[in-house]
Structure 1
Amino acid sequence: MTASVSMTAPAEVYRARRAKLAASLSRPLVLFAGEPRARQYATNTYPFRAASNYLYFGGPPVPGAALLIEPGSDGDDGCLLIRRRIDFEEIVWIGDVPSDSALAEASGMAQRNFLTPDRLDERVKGRRAAYLAPPCPPTMEWVRRLELEPASPDDIQPIIDQRLIKDDHELSAMRFAAEVAV
């Protein structure tokens, strides 16, 4: 049995967001999901919440994952989901995980665009790729190993511009929230 994937928008919304961002990028951009917080004691269960920019562009809520968005891509081809494979022994400890087909359907990315972390090296090494990541040690170690550069203000501005203007899906969700709140 595999876990379901909970996303806030339909796959085509994420695909369109990635394509719009890709049209304004001048170099590859890697958006990291981050890692779950360490549990300090049993009643402190902080559920995993991926980084918001990663989620906004259709990254499924999978710990340790990342999105690579290539300049000029169409939101599917030229965009990659990087996540590690979970083996049976890990499933015993962490529970069911979403299948690749469930991740593809939820994110709007073809399974052929899924890579394991070791394959990301060949895609970004020596290309001056930029990154946005939450400051968690495993993610920052990954950034150092890949020799990624922090996103500059010019790299971040297209994300800010896109997120400031709400798309139809966001407006619909905001209207619904206002209706149920009143």
Structure 2
Amino acid sequence: MSRTLTIVVLSALLVASALNQLKLRRWERLTGRWDRWAVLPHFAFFAPEPGHAGTHLVLRDRGENGWTGWHEVPLSPRTRWRFVWNPARYERKAVQDLLSGIARDAQEIDDPHALTLTSCYLGLAAWADAQPPAVPGATERQFAVLQTVGHGGDRDLRPAILSRPLRRA
């Protein structure tokens, strides 16, 4: 009896999970009512333009000899064990969410000075400021968000955001 019940429940979950991938409006309304804990998975393996664009956060510091060169903030490297243990995914996801939030806010806010007061911008500024300085005794830090579009030699680099210099404590 319990074996049959287990097979029925797991089969129902398999069918429901498959239906959840199909973007059916009636199915989404139905699952929206009873799947409050997001038990059914939704996979999004392919982007509209996979591998086409990237976002990078770069920093520079002002020391005694002026500004350093720009350098990309290194996020934790991907390891071959990331499928088992990957705490760095939270850092990468948080930075990407902040960058996406800034891009969304930039479309809604006309005043660039007002953009610097949004929670996403302030969160990214705090995260950038928390990174170790490139030179000892740096007094200011500036960050920029760059977007790369394209592949290989055809890749185009576009500045998306350039912060004002931040005073370092």
TM-score, with structure 1 as normaliser: 0.22
1 or 2, which has the higher strand percentage?
2
TM-score, with structure 2 as normaliser: 0.23
Q: Which has the larger Rg?
A: 2
Higher relative contact order (CA 8 A, sep 6+): 1
1 or 2, which has the higher helix percentage?
1
